Structure 1
């Protein structure tokens, strides 16, 4: 059986959906099932041709000038970044499983960009949502399964910076803590 590698991924974007809006930056942190950080990948992307920032999203970014500036440095064409990301995913020592919080947002962008610029996705159509996993573990309704209802012991000491790779590592550690606790239950 091939080992699963949990690829915690965080996306920073200038709008709610890819195409009309651009993925500004993304970071992925690959973890073993035992919680070992195996490898990381991050890239800042040039804007999509013809895309524009969503006014509400751009107003939010106006309040995050340091994080915004970090997404706009060392830019790569999306085709280059996604080809490099695909190669990184394929080199992982197991089958990649996309992990996100919220997974619907991050996976939407990464999957769209992979398909648009490489024509394939090693994740297939699958993604693991940390919030849904918390719902199952905590036995709470989905809308109550937020970070503020999660036990403090699940959280790493890492801050949430809105820098994609930092946030991917933080949420990957959160997921691995949850997974270890879940597996330890009788």
Structure 2
């Protein structure tokens, strides 16, 4: 029997370019489907969601990043979850949905979101990363390969109409994780 993978679409909102000197302010993980090597099963709705807003871990921030995500650092200092609680809760949630399968993180592009989430899981979760050190899937690379596009032409703004998600990119982590899950499902179901 094949065990397979369980995919989680991820989106992070931060106050700068790299973790450590800067802070992850919010993140969302959305159940995006399972694949056993032959059949991809997407969810009927994207309603299995983990979302947290987190206390900043440093005093550093870039105003431009805050202007994009509209998150209030002062409010998060008071009301945000501790990074330890957020990452432990996320680990538990991912593993409860993955069951016997291997959890895989998917994002568009994965390089930014993976960097932040992996670093936060390693730095703050008692159990490490539920995605191991490398179980991440780059939706942008999949678009590039399946559509025969140069990687530089596979950005979200250049997707063909039939690959477009049903929702807008809002820079609210839940919305953007669901948007990416929709694109991921279309790629997974695409018979080239």
TM-score, normalising length from structure 1? 0.87
CA displacement at 1:147 relative to structure 2? 2.0
Partner residue of 1:34 out of 26, 38, 41? 41
Structure 1 outlier segments of 4+, above 6 Å? none
CA displacement at 1:178 relative to structure 2? 1.2
Taking the aligned partners of 2:149 and 2:111, their CA distance within structure 1 comes to 20
Match of 2:138 in 1: 129
Structure 1 unaligned blocks of 5 or more: none
Taking the aligned partners of 2:122 and 2:111, their CA distance within structure 1 comes to 16
Measured against aligned partners, the alpha-carbon deviations of 1:39-81 in whole angstroms (never above 9, x if no partner) come to 2101000000x44103xxx2243365xx324995641010110
Alignment of 1:10-49 (within 5 A): 10-32=11-33, 33-36=40-43, 37=46, 39-48=48-57
Match of 1:96 in 2: 103
Match of 2:117 in 1: 110
Alignment of 1:48-63 (within 5 A): 48=57, 50-54=58-62, 58-62=63-67
The yes-or-no answer on 1:142 pairing with 2:159 is: no
Q: 1:8 touches 1:168 (CA, 8 Å); kept in 2?
A: yes
Match of 1:162 in 2: 171
Q: Secondary structure at the match of 2:165?
A: coil
Taking the aligned partners of 2:6 and 2:141, their CA distance within structure 1 comes to 19
CA displacement at 1:168 relative to structure 2? 0.3
Stretch of structure 1 that moved more, 141-150 or 103-112? 141-150
Match of 1:151 in 2: 160
Match of 1:3 in 2: 4
- How many residues are aligned here? 177
Taking the aligned partners of 2:47 and 2:61, their CA distance within structure 1 comes to 34
Q: Could you say what the CA RMSD is over the residues aligned between the two structures, in angstroms?
A: 2.0
Taking the aligned partners of 2:42 and 2:107, their CA distance within structure 1 comes to 15
Question: Do the aligned partners of residues 72 and 160 (structure 1) sit closer, same or farther apart at CA in structure 2, a change above 3 Å counting?
Answer: farther
Match of 2:36 in 1: none
Taking the aligned partners of 1:29 and 1:146, their CA distance within structure 2 comes to 21
Taking the aligned partners of 1:12 and 1:63, their CA distance within structure 2 comes to 9
CA displacement at 1:166 relative to structure 2? 1.0
